[in-house]
Amino acid sequence: MTAGRPSPGSKARAPVPRLILGIETSCDETAAAVVEGGRRVLSSAIASQIEDHRPFGGVVPEIAGRKHLDNLVPVVESALERAGVAPAELGAVAVTSSPGLMGALLVGTSFGKALAMGWGLPLIEVNHLHAHALAIFLGRARPRFPYLALVVSGGHTTLFRADSPLALAILGQTRDDAAGEVLDKVAKFLGLGYPGGPAIDALGACGDPGAVRFPRGLARSASLDFSFSGLKTAVVNRALGTRRIDGRLNDQQPPPLSESELRDLVASFQEAVVDSLVGTTLRAAREHRLSTVVVSGGVAANTRLREKMAGEGRAAGLRVLFPDRGLCTDNAAMIAGAAWHLARGGRFAGLDLRPSARMKTAAC
């Protein structure tokens, strides 16, 4: 073991590591990255599993776990090589420990533990959603705390009040489907392929967002929660017209719509998702007197969401910030970046670290 370092996986306070290797395997991307000082991304390698899951129209948990097992060694090697960093130069290994697919998390955390043990490095466990909310620090923007963070992804739609990198409190979240999940499900139903978010983004830009007025979830409710399942049903019913669903939504044939009907339907659907997200987020900022809003997670790559949140936020006197698109969708740079903040706060994990499929309630 290198002198001056804590024993591998020890929870004892260690010096703040300059170079951290991050590992992300919570869903269907196997990712590894090296980040310096919590800000500078030296490398970010991602092995996408999209082609493996495409035939099923969604992520198959067992396939995800097996693919992580295949991909982790080459992805970590590639991250170190691209960064020009040898294992001996690293200061810590960081892994996503929650929330996510259990099999996928088990593969990533076990691998991270083995590396920490083998290389004599401290281990840091990172919450995937907190990492999304802190990914903004990997860019040029330097948001001041406290800020409001909307994390909007395939699995979550959550508003956090971020008082510090170690203190993120949930203000609201979806009561049913996540925004990305509803984009993916509707895209699949319309025959737009997998993953649906980017397809909706592209097609929605060509249609009329005012063609159909869809419901805006809980926009009028006093809570800061979201709801998207009613919108999903409304879009499906609209697409089917007088036809009725025959069996499960997933088993439907794409509805017979003309090109322009499809474009308008998609644009109107996207607009309803975006309005729900923008409306509740700006209300949360007002109610909690927060002047900076950070929007991240895969759906934060959406063109219309970026445009509308920025425009309406500016009009309300807010500073609205987005990570670069590549740092919105799943990546390991955000894991290594968040880990640096945790290390500064003395938060190291032991080799007894256990992943959790659900959101752990303790801060970070």
Residues lying near Zn ion in the complex (CB under 5 A)? 153, 330
Find the binding residues for ligand KG4 in span 215-274 (CB under 6 A).
Answer: none
Site size toward ligand KG4, by CB under 6 A: 20
Using alpha carbons, select from 121, 89, 108 the residue that is nearest to residue 19.
Answer: 89
Burial 291-316 (b: 16+ CB within 10 A, else e): ebbbbbbbbbbbebbbebbbebbeee
Q: How far is the CB of 108 from ligand KG4 (least distance, A)?
A: 14
β-partners of residue 294 are: 149, 321
* Choice from 33, 75, 183, 342 touching ligand KG4 (CB under 6 A): 183
Q: Phi then psi for 40, rounded to 5 degrees?
A: -95, 115
Q: How far is the CB of 183 from ligand KG4 (least distance, A)?
A: 5
Q: Does 329 bind ligand KG4 (CB under 6 A)?
A: yes
Classify the phi-psi angles of 122: left when phi > 0, otherwise alpha if psi is within -120 to 50, otherwise beta.
beta
Nearest residue (CB) to Zn ion, 271 versus 330: 330
Q: Does 99 bind ligand KG4 (CB under 6 A)?
A: no
Nearest residue (CB) to Zn ion, 59 versus 93: 59
> Which tokens hold the place of 110?
């076990």
Q: How far is the CB of 225 from ligand KG4 (least distance, A)?
A: 18
CA–CA gap between residue 3 and residue 173 (Å, rounded):
45
Q: Does 198 bind ligand KG4 (CB under 6 A)?
A: yes
CA–CA gap between residue 250 and residue 185 (Å, rounded):
8
Which of 5-13, 101-109, 152-160, 253-261 is the region at the interface with ligand KG4 (rule: CB under 6 A)?
Answer: 152-160
Q: Does 22 bind ligand KG4 (CB under 6 A)?
A: no
CA–CA gap between residue 116 and residue 101 (Å, rounded):
22
Q: Does 6 bind ligand KG4 (CB under 6 A)?
A: no
List the Cα angle 106/111/112 in 5-degree steps: 100
β-partners of residue 161 are: 148, 169
Which of 84-92, 246-254, 291-299, 310-318 is the region at the interface with ligand KG4 (rule: CB under 6 A)?
Answer: 291-299
* Interacting residues toward ligand KG4 by CB under 6 A: 27, 153-155, 180, 183-184, 195-198, 200-201, 297-299, 301-302, 329-330
